[in-house]
Structure 1
Amino acid sequence: MVCAAGYDRTKEVKEFDNSKMGVKGLSDSGITTIPKFFVHPPETISDLRKSSVTGVGIPVIDLSNVDTEAGRAKVVGEIREAAKTWGFFQLINHCVPVPVLDDTIAAIKAFHDLPIEEKAKYYVREEGRGVMYASNFDLHRSTAACWHDSLNVWMAPDPAAAEEIPAVCRRAVAEWDIHAKKVAEDVLELLCEGVGLKGGKLKELGCCDTRAIVGHCYPPCPQPDLTVGIKSHTDPVVLTVLLQNQVGGLQVKHGGDWVDVKPIHGGLIINIGDLLQIISNGEYNSVQHRVLANGLKEDRISIVEFFNVNKFDESARYGPLPELVSPPEKPCIYRNFTMKEFTENFYSKGLDSKSFVEKLKLCAL
C-alpha cells in the first residue's frame, strides 16, 4: 500500500520483518520515533488516553483452602462469579512454587535479551507448529502493528522437538507446560462444578489437548501514546493461563470501562476464552483485554499458555453442552462448529474481539 505522500507501508513492513530485529531490536537501538506502521488510528489512540477505573481490579481468588469442603464451595462460587462477570481472575496460593514462576519469567526474558543474530535463527512465520519467534504474529494481516515480540512454542498435540526450543529457555518452557497444564485442569474442574457439571467434563472433551506457550516481550517504547502493546481482543481458545513480571500494562474491559490488572508477585491470571463461552452456552464469558505500550525503562515479560480442543481433529463438532441447554428457560445460544471453521476464521485476519462467537450466534437471538 502506497499512500498519497509516497509512503509505502507494505515495503516498510516487509523490510522490518526481513531484518528479524523485532521491536526489541528497535527499542535497544535507541530510536526516538516509532515506524509509521506501528502508529494506530485516532479512534484507538483516543480510547487509550482514557483513564482506567481506579479502586477496581479483577477478582483475586485464594486457593489455599480449596481441598476442604467449605473452602472448595467458596472457591467454586468465586470462580463461577468471576468467570461470568469479569472473564478474568487472579489466583494466589495455587500449586506452583513462586521460584518456578520467577525462573520461567527469567528464562523468557533471557531469550528476548539474546543478540539479534542469535534470535534471528528462530525468526519464522510458520504458525501452528514447532517454534516461532516473530514480532506480531499478524504483522501482514493487521492494519497497524503492535509493540511486542513473541516466542511461540507448541506443546501439544504435535509438540515442538526439544532441540527446536532455544537452549536458554528450553528447560523452563518444558517445566512450565507441566505446571500450567495442572493449573488449567484444576480451574476447568472448578468451572465445571460451578455450572453443575461433573468435575472432569471439560477435560474429557479435550479442552487441554492443544497447548501453546507464548512468551511476550514488550520493550520500552519511545512513543507509547501512539501505539499499543497488544490491541483489544478476546482469546479464541478455551482457557488461558498468564504469568507476568511486575511491569504493568494489561487492561481488562469491564462494564464499558478499562481496568488495570495489577501484577501480584506469585499470582497467576486466568481468562476465559471464546470457545468456553460457546461450550458453556454463555454461562461464562470471554472479555476484551489489551496491553498498553510500555512507557517504562524495563521490559514487560508475560508468558501465556493457551489451552484448546484438538484443532487437528477437523471432523469433530463442538458447541454448547447439552447439559447446559434446557429450553425455553435456557435455549441454545450458539450453533455447533468444526475446528476447521475456527482455524479458517482465526488465520484470515488479525486479532479481534469475538468475531467467531458472533458468527455462531443463532438467528433466533
Structure 2
Amino acid sequence: MVITSSCEIQAEINSKYDRESELKAFDDSKAGVKGLVDSGIAKVPRIFIHEKHKLGGNSGSGDYKPTIPVIDFQDVEKDSIVRCEITDKVRSACENWGFFQVINHGISLTTLEEIINGVRRFHELDSTQKKELYSRSETRTVTYNTNFDFYQAPATNWRDSLYSVMAPRPPDLEELPAVCRDIMTEYSDEVMKFGHILFGLMSEALGLNSNHLKEMGCAEGLYFIGHYYPECPEPELTLGFSEHTDSGFLAVVLQDQMGGLQVLNQDQWIDVSPIPGSLIVNVGDMTQARN
C-alpha cells in the first residue's frame, strides 16, 4: 500500500496546471466572466482563485470605524466663502486620505442611475453581441474585455469591463455600444465639467491660481471604464478588484448601492459605504508630494 501525502497530491495537481493555456482559452472565447456565469458553472475556474484571500476577507475590525470624508459642493461656484471652506476640506482629504465622497456635485441622480443601468445593459447582452468589441488592442478607442492585466496578474479578477477614451478625442458615436451610447456621452460631458471644478479647487488648495492644474493639461483627458461584477458561485475564492494604487491620474468613481469599495487607511481596510447620488474621488498618486 502506497501512502501519498496531501502535499504530494497538491504538487501533482500544480504540475498539471497550465495557466497560460487556460488564460488563452478563456480569452479566445470572448465571452468574459459573464459568459462563464451564463454557462452555468458551479466552480470558480482556477485562473480566478486568489490564494491569499482563500481564508476570508481582510477588512478592518474592532472599534476603529472611520469613513472617508464627505464634502458638499453646494454653491461652490456661487459663494466665495463657501468655496474657501470646501477648498480647505479638499486639502485635508487629499492630505490625509487621498479619497473623498462628493455630494451636490451638479450631476443629476437620473444621469448617475442611467449610466449604471447603461453599463449593466451592455454587459448583460448576449455574448455574440459583444464579441466584436472584445479586444486587448491599445489602439482601439472602444473595447471590452476581462482584466486589462489579464496575462500579467498572478490571479484574474472576477469582472468584465467596457473601456472608451472619451476626451480629448472622443470616438465616433457609432463606435460606442448602442445600448449605452447616449448616456456614456452625456455622463462623460458632465464628469468633464465636474473635473474642471475639482481641479480648480485642488489648485487653490495648493496655494496656486485656480487654473493652474487645468493649464498643465490635467483636465483634458477622460477615460471611461464601466466595470461589471457577475454573480460568483464561490465569492470567498476570488476578488472583483485586487488591491492597487492609481498612479498618474485622478479617478472619479461611481459605485452602485451594493457597494464593495475599500480604501487603505492607517494599515486598515475601510469600507466605503455608498451615498446615493455621490461621486467618489480618488486623487491617486498624482498629488503625492515627492522629495
TM-score (norm 1): 0.73
Per the alignment, residue 247 of structure 2 pairs with: 236
Matches within 5 A, 1:185-334: 185-277=196-288, 282=289, 333=291
Number of aligned positions between the proteins: 278
Q: Is the 8 A contact 1:65 1:71 kept in 2?
A: yes
How far the C-alpha of 1:237 sits from its partner, in A, is 2.8
Corresponding position: 1:78 with 2:70: no
Which one has the bigger helix percentage?
2
Corresponding position: 1:27 with 2:54: no
Q: Is the 8 A contact 2:252 2:279 kept in 1?
A: yes
Distance in 1, matches of 2:200 and 2:256, equals 27
Distance in 1, matches of 2:212 and 2:282, equals 19
Distance in 2, matches of 1:89 and 1:226, equals 29
How far the C-alpha of 1:8 sits from its partner, in A, is 1.1
Per the alignment, residue 11 of structure 1 pairs with: 21
In the alignment, structure 2 segments of 5+ residues that lack a partner are 1-11
- The residue type paired with residue 224 of structure 1 is P
How far the C-alpha of 1:15 sits from its partner, in A, is 0.5
Per the alignment, residue 65 of structure 2 pairs with: 55
Per the alignment, residue 138 of structure 1 pairs with: 149
Distance in 2, matches of 1:228 and 1:34, equals 11
Corresponding position: 1:112 with 2:112: no
Corresponding position: 1:64 with 2:74: yes
Per the alignment, residue 148 of structure 1 pairs with: 159
Q: Is the 8 A contact 1:130 1:161 kept in 2?
A: no
Corresponding position: 1:101 with 2:101: no
- TM-aligned CA distance change 1:212 to 1:50, over 3 Å: closer
How far the C-alpha of 1:128 sits from its partner, in A, is 5.4
- The residue type paired with residue 6 of structure 1 is K
Q: Is the 8 A contact 2:245 2:285 kept in 1?
A: yes
Distance in 1, matches of 2:85 and 2:131, equals 48
How far the C-alpha of 1:221 sits from its partner, in A, is 1.2
TM-score (norm 2): 0.90
Tell which structure's C-alpha radius of gyration is larger: 2
Distance in 2, matches of 1:108 and 1:203, equals 29
In the alignment, structure 1 segments of 5+ residues that lack a partner are 283-331, 334-365
Spell out, residue by residue over 1:223-251, the C-alpha distance to the aligned partner (whole angstroms, 9 max, x if none): 11111111011112321111121111110
Between the two proteins, what is the percent identity of the paired residues? 42
Per the alignment, residue 4 of structure 2 pairs with: none
Distance in 2, matches of 1:141 and 1:110, equals 29
Q: Is the 8 A contact 2:56 2:236 kept in 1?
A: no
Per the alignment, residue 294 of structure 1 pairs with: none
Q: After the TM superposition, which segments of 4 or more aligned residues of structure 1 sit over 6 Å from their partners?
A: none
Per the alignment, residue 5 of structure 2 pairs with: none
Per the alignment, residue 123 of structure 1 pairs with: 134
Q: Is the 8 A contact 1:57 1:261 kept in 2?
A: yes
Which one has the bigger strand percentage?
1
Spell out, residue by residue over 1:259-287, the C-alpha distance to the aligned partner (whole angstroms, 9 max, x if none): 0011111001111122332xxxx1xxxxx
Corresponding position: 1:167 with 2:178: yes
